[in-house]
Amino acid sequence: MTATNAANAAGQVPNGALLASALEYAARGWAVFPLIPGGKRPAAPRHPAHECDRRTDFWCRNGHTGWQERATTDPGRITRAWSSRPYGLGIATGPSGLLVIDTDAPKPGARTPAEWQGRATSGEEVLSALVADHEPLPDTWTVRTPSGGTHRYYLRPDGVELGNTAGRLGWLIDTRAAGGYVVAPPTRTNTGLYEVTSYAAPAPLPAWVADLLTGPAAPPPGTPRTVTPDLDRVTGYVRAAVEGETTRVRQATEGTRNHALFIAAVALGQLVAGGALTETTATALLLDAAAGHVAARAFTDAEALATVRSGMRRGANNPRTITPRPAHHRAA
Ligand SMILES: [Zn+2]
């Protein structure tokens, strides 16, 4: 019987099972660290870097030391930590040389981005679509999460900088690498148990995945451009403006997403004020364009709507009318 199976589905995971797994991971070269029992957050340090006094916490005596630096493969330290409390088990993916592909189920009430409507309803289905366009994923160490997600562990290739990503591979797919961690079996959080579903040795990360993670962000392959029916009724010039703005929102990268949405809302707000399209249509188009960012948790639906409304109010101060250029006169 494995340590993971020793975890009773109904009860607490015994310290011994957590300790045995922690030692097993360490023997594989995976750096582990304790999580607050029942939660997903690191148990230490208990203070953020900017509140470090270098005295209260022994590990910070020579400068603030975060969870990644504290993660270890040392059996002595691991045994001491997990003998004292039933800490959850975190694996620091950075020092472990791992890249974990994390597929999730959609949050209740989450909006499906336009490009995935009718194609996928979960991160697993999005990943299947990617696989269909590339190559199969090799068998690898795999974990089921209590929220219905899946963690696939891969060996990170040398010579490529790979950090954490959210939604970069696709809707509901995150990756954890340098600077990241995963909650590992047999941790039980308040939402449930993490369980190993494949004990296969971690496979090298497929090159096509590394390429998608390092190359320019692209729309999902084979995605037909969806044209909102409402948009068919507006003139070509307005339509071009709308498509330009919504494309910029869709393609906005981390850190610029909310700003891109605001700028686009200002631009469309000007067109609404000029009578080129309705406020309802403009709002729907902008929220649709932002759906991928909501799925990637850059902001919530409510925050996206607030940004759209605020931008459109700003745009309304400068109404814009688009006058089509005169048609070419054809020689008779
Ligand atoms: Zn500190």
Q: Does the pLDDT of residue 329 top 50, yes or no?
A: no
Q: What is the pLDDT of residue 148?
A: 93
Q: How far is the CA of 50 from the centre of ligand 1 (A)?
A: 8
Q: Does the pLDDT of residue 168 top 70, yes or no?
A: yes
Q: Does the pLDDT of residue 108 top 70, yes or no?
A: yes
Q: Checking phi first, is residue 116 left (phi over 0); if not, alpha (psi -120 to 50) or beta?
A: alpha
Contact residues for 113 (Cβ-Cβ < 8 A; gap 6+): 171, 288, 291, 292, 295
Domain ranges of the chain: 15-214, 229-316
- pTM value surpassing 0.85: no
Read off the pLDDT of each residue in 173-184 and give the average, rounded to a whole number: 96
Q: Does the pLDDT of residue 7 top 50, yes or no?
A: no
Token pair 């250029």: residue: 325
Q: pLDDT of 126-166, one tens digit each?
A: 999 999 989 999 999 999 999 999 999 999 998 888 999 99
Q: How far is the CA of 63 from the centre of ligand 1 (A)?
A: 6
Q: State the CB neighbour count (10 A cutoff) for residue 62.
A: 7
Q: How far is the CA of 79 from the centre of ligand 1 (A)?
A: 23
Side-chain half-sphere exposure of 172, counting CA atoms within 13 A: 27
Q: How far is the CA of 65 from the centre of ligand 1 (A)?
A: 5
Extended beta strands in the chain, E state = 31-35, 88-92, 98-103, 142-144, 150-155, 165-170, 173-176, 181-184, 188-189, 192-193, 195-198, 203-204
3-state secondary structure of 318: coil
Q: How far is the CA of 116 from the centre of ligand 1 (A)?
A: 43
Q: How far is the CA of 48 from the centre of ligand 1 (A)?
A: 7
Candidate from 33-47, 156-170, 289-303 with smallest mean pLDDT: 289-303
Higher pLDDT, residue 94 or 276: 94
Q: How far is the CA of 319 from the centre of ligand 1 (A)?
A: 53
Indicate the pairing of strand 142-144 with strand 150-155: antiparallel
Q: How far is the CA of 70 from the centre of ligand 1 (A)?
A: 11
Q: How far is the CA of 19 from the centre of ligand 1 (A)?
A: 26
Tokens of 55: 């005295």
Report the C-alpha gap between 255 and 267 in whole angstroms: 20
Q: How far is the CA of 183 from the centre of ligand 1 (A)?
A: 22
Residue 45, preceding peptide bond in cis (omega within 30° of 0): yes
